[in-house]
Amino acid sequence: MNTKTLGYSTMIVSAALMGCVGLFARNINTSGDVIAFTRMTVGAICILGLMFYQGKTSLIKTTKITSTVIASGACLGLCLAAYVSATQYTTLANAVFLIYTGPVFSTILAAIFLKEKISKLTASLLTAVFIGCLFIIGIINYSASDGLTVSLSFSKENFIGDMLGLASGVGYGLYLFFSRYRTDVSSDSRSFFNFLFGAVAIGVCFVVKPPSLADMNTSSWIWLISMGFFIGFGALTLLTIAAKHLKAAELACVSYLETVVGAGIGIAMFGESLTLLQSIGGILVIGGGMGEIVISMTKKRVALKNSQLEH
């Protein structure tokens, strides 16, 4: 098995496992922040264990802790807490599609604060994602009697979950944005501090609103521990392996498999359904998020081939 095949194989399994977050969350009788705290804590312990095994713990000691390092980890933790909570209040498809609006918010923040220019292509892709969100949460709707309508009235059944989904997307965008400030930090150290400060951020929320484990039965504990192992240790370990063999853009493309798995589980296992507009919205979110990555990769390959032909 060559390195690219290994990279894609491990990343596909990792993304598929991450797509199962909603499945685990709906079988655990506690709030999303408790589940997310467990996920972040297990992640931190696993990364620390792997770094100790590989003799890389010195990287943690030499990493300069700045406000952006803390902020990126905190945003990741709060983003995951909002996402897990969203899976408990809305459809899995809505939750997973909405968290993947994160790259849109990151791009907008970069344009405002880092003065990065937004090309016409990027602007069109961002517009596609924005319209997709409006389709998913029902601001733009369609019925046989009224046709295509635009309204600020939300679905009562999914309102809380959809808003949590959007909040998770904002948190994900902030995490991506703050991560750009410290490109000097190694991937292993960054992962450790992301999980550590993510768990700390959720822990601070526990002080304000103490979590309840009163409804946790044996089945819930088994699901929670299993989630920590499979989605915490398993997905994280596979992602670490994939990151060694794939470029960032390739990792980003494969990660969108999570949306398909999440939506598929909701439909197959929980009898959820998507309207035509919600399905189109999901496609717009995925297409808008992946579009620029794919085009950028294509341009690089064409440029490489042209340079090889010239020589």
Q: Structural domain tally of the chain?
A: 1
Give the whole-angstrom CA distance, residue 1 versus residue 292: 29
> 190: domain range?
3-310
In sequence order, what are the residues at sequence separation of 6 or more whose Cβ sits closer than 8 angstroms to the Cβ of residue 64? none
What's the rounded mean pLDDT across residues 152-180?
Answer: 86
C-beta separation of 25 from 87 below 8 A = yes
* pLDDT score for 138: 81
pLDDT band for position 295 (cuts 50, 70, 90): low
Highest mean pLDDT among 134-143, 160-169, 274-283, 291-300: 160-169
pLDDT at 75 over 90: yes
* pLDDT score for 167: 95
Give the whole-angstrom CA distance, residue 307 versus residue 303: 6
Give the whole-angstrom CA distance, residue 127 versus residue 163: 20
Report CA 91 to chain centroid distance, whole Å. 16
Buried b (16+ CB within 10 A) or exposed e, 183-219: eebeebbbbbbbbbbbbbbbeebeeeeeeeeeeeeee
C-beta separation of 259 from 19 below 8 A = yes
3-class DSSP assignment, residue 147: strand
CB-based burial of residue 118 (10 Å sphere; 0-12 exposed, 13-18 middle, 19+ buried)?
middle
C-beta separation of 22 from 96 below 8 A = yes
More confident residue, 136 or 142: 136
In sequence order, what are the residues at sequence separation of 6 or more whose Cβ sits closer than 8 angstroms to the Cβ of residue 7? 241, 242, 244, 245, 246, 250
Report CA 57 to chain centroid distance, whole Å. 27
Name the average pLDDT for the chain.
86
* pLDDT score for 311: 60
More confident residue, 151 or 129: 129
pLDDT band for position 248 (cuts 50, 70, 90): low
What's the rounded mean pLDDT across residues 284-293?
Answer: 78
What's the rounded mean pLDDT across residues 4-28?
Answer: 90
pLDDT at 310 over 80: no
Give the whole-angstrom CA distance, residue 125 versus residue 287: 8
In sequence order, what are the residues at sequence separation of 6 or more whose Cβ sits closer than 8 angstroms to the Cβ of residue 281? 97, 131, 132, 133, 134, 135, 136
Q: Taking the CA of residue 186 as centre, how many other CA atoms within 13 Å lie in the half-sphere pointing to its CB?
A: 15
pLDDT at 149 over 90: no
pLDDT at 152 over 80: no
* pLDDT score for 156: 75
What's the rounded mean pLDDT across residues 293-301?
Answer: 68
CB-based burial of residue 72 (10 Å sphere; 0-12 exposed, 13-18 middle, 19+ buried)?
buried
DSSP string, 168-215: HHHHHHHHHHHHTT-TTS-HHHHHHHHHHHHHHHHHHHHHHS----TT
